[in-house]
Amino acid sequence: GGACVWSEARLEVGQEVSLRLSGARQPQPLEVSALVAWAGGRSGRISGIPRYGLQWMPPSETSRAGVRRLIGL
């Protein structure tokens, strides 16, 4: 699994990134790791901000439980 994000950061395909996810059900931000799987180029931009596809790195069981809480599973 993964996510599509818009970021002003200049990311390269294959680069490992860390993200902090938060939500109403998550008292502390959840830090997760992902690989940049693709970059959207000019066609993927919104208001000039590039779009990237991220592929989640294998999470620890603690991270997996945090993601379940975050999305309400």
What CA–CA distance (Å, rounded) separates 57 from 54? 9
Residue type (1 letter), 13? V
pLDDT value for 46: 65
pLDDT tens figures, 15-67: 999 988 887 766 778 888 899 999 986 565 567 788 899 998 887 776 667 66
- Whether 49 and 68 have beta carbons less than 8 Å apart is answered as no
**What residue ranges in 1-72 does DSSP mark as E strands?**
2-6, 16-23, 26-39, 51-56
pLDDT digits (tens, 9 = 90+) for 3-18: 889 888 999 999 999 9
- CB atoms closer than 10 angstroms to residue 66: 20
